[in-house]
């Protein structure tokens, strides 16, 4: 590294050299990080809570619906997929790329229980729209029905087929025959 008098002679100050050193270090660090880049969130998304449902909108420009997987487990929505790396033509060279590539997985913690069987997801203009109806989570009153199961007071339950109550012995213990 140059000393202060060398920096002045070359027309560059210590601040410019520091900036170059930080830029170089940042470049080295970001080259070690996956293609999504340091500090970037991909894919970008929005979580909305409405009266009857949760709604998650995910930006997935350039994806086809068959290239993404959407699943719900408990209070977690997972969106995953893969974007192939963009390869420039052989005649050119890459100067800068901000296009994310590779595998991605977005995990969204939902604020309420949802009915997993009623979830609907649609893809339109590069936006995934997942509608997750809230689970009522409420119990319900169940009416008990009366059924006729043969002789009243027989003691046999409907699931005990062929069981009949035992005849009580004659108190006298005498045989009639």
Domain extents for the chain?
1-32, 36-133
pLDDT in tens, 94-111: 777 777 778 889 999 999
The verdict on pTM exceeding 0.75 is no
- What are residue 155's phi and psi, to 5 degrees? 90, -10
| Angle subtended at Cα 38 by Cα 70 and Cα 108, rounded to the nearest 5 degrees | 25
Range 36-133 has CATH code 2.60.40.790: yes
pLDDT in tens, 38-96: 334 578 999 999 989 999 999 998 888 888 999 999 899 999 998 877 777 788 777 77
DSSP result, 109-164: E-SS-B-GGG-EEEEETTEEEEEEEBP-------PPPP---SSTT----TTSTT--
Rounded to an integer, what distance in angstroms lies between the CA atom of residue 101 and that of residue 150?
A: 71
Q: Pick the residue with more confidence: 129 or 138?
A: 129
Please check whether residue 128 is in contact with residue 70, taking contact to mean a CB–CB distance below 8 angstroms: yes
Please check whether residue 114 is in contact with residue 54, taking contact to mean a CB–CB distance below 8 angstroms: yes
């Amino acid at each position: 590294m140059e000393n202060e008098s060398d920096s002045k002679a070359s027309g560059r100050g210590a601040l410019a050299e520091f900036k170059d050193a930080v830029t170089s270090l940042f470049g080295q660090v970001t080259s070690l990080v996956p293609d999504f880049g340091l500090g970037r969130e991909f894919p970008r998304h929005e979580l909305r809570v409405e009266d009857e449902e949760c709604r998650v909108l995910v930006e997935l420009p350039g994806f086809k619906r068959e290239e993404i997987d959407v699943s719900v487990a408990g209070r977690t929505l997972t969106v995953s997929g893969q974007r192939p790396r963009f390869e420039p033509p052989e005649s050119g060279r890459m100067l800068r790329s901000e296009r994310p590539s590779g595998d991605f997985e977005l995990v969204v913690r939902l604020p309420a229980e949802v009915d997993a069987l009623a979830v609907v997801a649609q893809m339109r203009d590069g936006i995934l729209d997942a509608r997750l109806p809230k689970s009522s989570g409420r119990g319900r009153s169940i009416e008990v029905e009366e059924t006729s199961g043969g002789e009243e007071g027989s003691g046999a339950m409907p699931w005990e087929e062929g069981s009949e109550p035992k005849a009580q012995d004659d108190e006298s213990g005498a045989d009639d025959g």
